Amino acid sequence: MVAVTIVAFLLVFSVVVFVHELGHFAVAKLSGVRVEEFGFGYPPRLLRIARRGDTEYTINAIPIGGFVRVAGDENPDDPRSLTKKSAWVRGAFLLAGPVMNVVLAVVLFAASYMMGVLEPTTGPGVGIYDVAAGSPAAGAGLRLGDVVLAVNQEPVNTPEALQQMINAHLDQEITLTVSREGARAPLVVHAMPRSDHPPDQGALGVHTGPPLRRAAYPAGQAIVLGAERALGTVVMMVAGLAAMVRGLAPVDLAGPIGIAQATGEVIKSGFVQVVEWTAFLSVNLFIINLLPIPALDGGRLVFVALELVRGGRRIDPRKEGLVHLVGIVVLLGLFLVVSYFDLLRLVQGVQFPGP
């Protein structure tokens, strides 16, 4: 399962980062900036696939995302370098990556609506909306979208009834009759409800609600719903980030380890959930990259905006470079701290919250 989780994480993260870099690449080409290399993965280089014009297309050893190397990164005096372009072109280049992440999120959310998303419905049973990693429910095989029809052969039709049945059998083995994806042939699982469960979980470690069904939508409606959901996800994440900054919500960050852990949990719920998770991460990358932090696209956009405000007078590139260097050091430190807490969370069996 660890190998599957790693492969799934690499695929999901690579798609999100690659599309981001594709946005930078497209604007660079359209604006006449010389693109020296467009690479899949990160160096060291393994293979040069082709060379078209000034651009090398490569495959690299670290299989996460990709990168764009444009003229100006190493030789700012090149007449076709990015640094020689107007502030508007440089701003468009920086914005293109994050914008492509939003476009990707819309496409993926729309695809999920076309394939079929889980929605509340009426009928018998209780829907499973989330399963905590390492919980009795996870160990028993319960999944997102399952419908619990009975506990010890007694029908349950509300979350309250299910909770009462579980509370009546704490620290005892119970049998849950489950319907999965509408199939009425029951899945019988065994679980040991806990009397000493974590404070943020119930005895089984599930979030419940009305029964769920999978509903598919035609392409036109799916695109509209996908755009609405992408926008809603942006608003939700910005509000959550603002709440953390203001101290109104706990700081809950995750690095690659935490994201990989969450990806491992998501793949248990099926392909559609993986598609939705990828869209969620794409929105996440959009927001993070637009934060006004030196070295990120948002931090570089601040300098472009200052240049426009100053009537086209650029800030000394050496000073700007120093600011971005400090930003890289700070981001590296933050990465190490977040990774440390990711490892702690992994060792303690705490689930990273998904979308």
110-139 in b/e burial notation, b at 16+ Cβ within 10 A? bbbbbbebbeeeeeebbbbbbbbbbbbbbb
Whether 281 contacts 259, CB under 8 Å: yes
CB of 208 closer than 8 Å to CB of 126: yes
Residues 6+ apart with CB under 8 A from 77: none
Distance of CA 191 to the CA centre of its chain: 31
- Provide the β-strand partners of residue 198: none
Q: Give the Cα separation of 161 and 157 in Å (integer).
A: 7
Cβ neighbours of 352 (radius 10 Å): 20
Q: Given its phi and psi angles, is residue 305 left (phi above 0), alpha (psi -120 to 50 degrees) or beta?
A: alpha
Residue (of 14, 20, 72, 66) closest to 40 by Cα position: 66
Q: Known catalytic residues?
A: 21
